[in-house]
Structure 1
């Protein structure tokens, strides 16, 4: 349970990541709430914090009918049961089937699942199946065998998913990019020399202080060629995005990772420019509050600096933490976003 000052800040911010860590007791009304309750904030002097609903009830309080603080444990159990069902199913189950199995309505369970995991049940199932496919492709000699081992009903569905998610053919994925053409260029930005590389789908690498040799290590079997004249506009737009990181860039990306990594990256892109989040907040936002170190690792595994803003994540004590391209660049990015006119 956090200290009272931290708890009060969480209540004022209606921070969902603190739900389940304590409840807020309003002594004048006799009601206790989740930290994220949307009801009007009480006065600080009328508030006490309790570890859980049971402790609040012992103090004579009753649960809020608006935020239903005692439902969180049931929600967590329902999500855990749903994940087990999805992971054990040969075919991805429909939302209504999953919701019925845990005793929720489809619309309510969709919201509960998304809050807990950061994705819908269908997206979770797709990511799980894609992870299994990537693992199978690294072991199986025949792509078809890997497709069925991963749980796909046939090659058509797998190729549809892989083209959308992997950005290259399944056999090329298994062979480290063999047969894939990646265009690359070095360009000067306000943060120094930038390396940008892209497949036909989108940007697959944006980094600093790297050159073609670094790309060869990441994509050892891909064909690396300089950016064509037709793709020159993409380089210019990428430079503009780096020089003004607070503006929406709309650039196409070709990135891939585990379901957890991709959930973290999606959460990074939800952080408004000029704001920061801690690694703990990111872990909680994707439904894994205890996976703070894993969230940090996922943050570090980001292949496209700036465009997926891993620089907006700092330590819980307010210090900058690490950054692959140096803390001075991280400071510059945060300063540019906080003061866009400068």
Structure 2
């Protein structure tokens, strides 16, 4: 096993799915071994051993848990990886039953498996791919319609059905610097200093440090900017800075590649008071070799704190960089850790 026992125990305690293929947990009292994410009740620490993989536990006399089925973790991940490859290379829609059959799973089970591993359904993943292609084509094509056809849509109407969901702003508005959009904004005080907060009707589109209206004008030069400190989403964002547990529920309206959106979605799953490394995020996305790309996506996050990129640290545990500065990152993490520890029940 490549990680320390205390780190493994901590991952087991919080049922961290990103560690499922890194080790298994053996319980000496039941002679059963499990995935770190197993939903079963946690045994006492003195009754737990860790093995690098299932066959080591079997050799030591343990049997696989029938609840979490640890030996299926690698098979499940491989099936999802194959399905993603099919979707990535497809020019036309692939039906769910065809994906499931190729992976060797029942349709309903594969739908749940894919959604659990990727964070979105196969259909949503396919739509995100098409939206990403449109986003790239919009920068080069002469018209929006041309970009839509280049991205593989059979008709513009099919794209407009989900354009709002995946791009936030309409494609023309996105391409033309927010044209036709109304963005409410304010620079507000918080426990970590002044924040620029901006939101469309759909969600928060910008939350940064040391920026002002000028930054919004550069990013959305064609949008209508309305200074409105009392806008509900702006007030909610300020409250979420003080109470991080609220941030996960706030809607965001941001444009990014499919990979960026998946990284940002994974960041929002990190509980307040905890951190993940770039490698942890890459493993959770099913690609341990993507740590550099994860770091790039993390740095491109346009909605600080709400999408908590400050909870990502280097693989060696050091803080790494942060757009808001390391002192602010330390302050955010310290406050969250203190609040999380204060909410835990006392051990007996």
Q: TM-score, normalised by structure 1?
A: 0.83
Aligned residues: 339
Which runs of structure 2 are paired with 1:176-187 in the superposition (5 Å)?
176-187=177-188
Alpha-carbon distance in structure 2 between the residues aligned to 1:42 and 1:232 = 48
Alpha-carbon distance in structure 1 between the residues aligned to 2:202 and 2:143 = 25
Specify whether residues 168 and 62 from structure 1 end up closer, same or farther in structure 2 by C-alpha distance, changes over 3 A only.
closer
Is 1:19 aligned with 2:16? Answer: no
Q: Can you list the C-alpha shifts for 1:130-177, whole angstroms capped at 9, x where unaligned?
A: 111111212211222211221223212211211222222222323343
Superposed displacement of residue 120, structure 1:
1.7
Alpha-carbon distance in structure 2 between the residues aligned to 1:327 and 1:8 = 28
Alpha-carbon distance in structure 1 between the residues aligned to 2:14 and 2:322 = 27
SS in 2 for 1:270: coil
User: Counterpart of 1:89?
Assistant: 90
Alpha-carbon distance in structure 2 between the residues aligned to 1:20 and 1:60 = 20
Tell me if the contact between 1:143 and 1:170 (Cα under 8 Å) persists in the aligned partners.
yes
Q: TM-score, normalised by structure 2?
A: 0.82
Alpha-carbon distance in structure 2 between the residues aligned to 1:238 and 1:43 = 39
User: Counterpart of 1:314?
Assistant: 313
Tell me if the contact between 2:199 and 2:234 (Cα under 8 Å) persists in the aligned partners.
no
Specify whether residues 238 and 171 from structure 1 end up closer, same or farther in structure 2 by C-alpha distance, changes over 3 A only.
same
Is 1:123 aligned with 2:145? Answer: no
SS in 2 for 1:189: coil
SS in 2 for 1:267: helix
Superposed displacement of residue 245, structure 1:
3.5
Which moves more between the two structures, 326-335 or 122-131?
326-335
Root-mean-square deviation over aligned CA pairs: 3.2
SS in 1 for 2:185: strand
Structure 1 gaps, min length 5: none
Specify whether residues 182 and 32 from structure 1 end up closer, same or farther in structure 2 by C-alpha distance, changes over 3 A only.
closer
Specify whether residues 210 and 122 from structure 1 end up closer, same or farther in structure 2 by C-alpha distance, changes over 3 A only.
same
Alpha-carbon distance in structure 1 between the residues aligned to 2:204 and 2:175 = 20
Superposed displacement of residue 8, structure 1:
4.4
Is 1:194 aligned with 2:192? Answer: no
Specify whether residues 142 and 268 from structure 1 end up closer, same or farther in structure 2 by C-alpha distance, changes over 3 A only.
same
SS in 2 for 1:324: coil
Alpha-carbon distance in structure 2 between the residues aligned to 1:338 and 1:42 = 25
Is 1:258 aligned with 2:257? Answer: yes
Tell me if the contact between 2:177 and 2:223 (Cα under 8 Å) persists in the aligned partners.
no
Alpha-carbon distance in structure 1 between the residues aligned to 2:272 and 2:53 = 35
User: Counterpart of 1:159?
Assistant: 160
Which moves more between the two structures, 120-129 or 272-281?
272-281
Q: Can you list the C-alpha shifts for 1:297-319, whole angstroms capped at 9, x where unaligned?
A: 22221111122222233334443
Alpha-carbon distance in structure 1 between the residues aligned to 2:33 and 2:338 = 40
Specify whether residues 111 and 322 from structure 1 end up closer, same or farther in structure 2 by C-alpha distance, changes over 3 A only.
same
Q: Can you list the C-alpha shifts for 1:231-255, whole angstroms capped at 9, x where unaligned?
A: 6454444333334434458544211
Specify whether residues 25 and 218 from structure 1 end up closer, same or farther in structure 2 by C-alpha distance, changes over 3 A only.
same
User: Counterpart of 1:305?
Assistant: 304
Specify whether residues 235 and 71 from structure 1 end up closer, same or farther in structure 2 by C-alpha distance, changes over 3 A only.
closer
Alpha-carbon distance in structure 2 between the residues aligned to 1:80 and 1:40 = 30
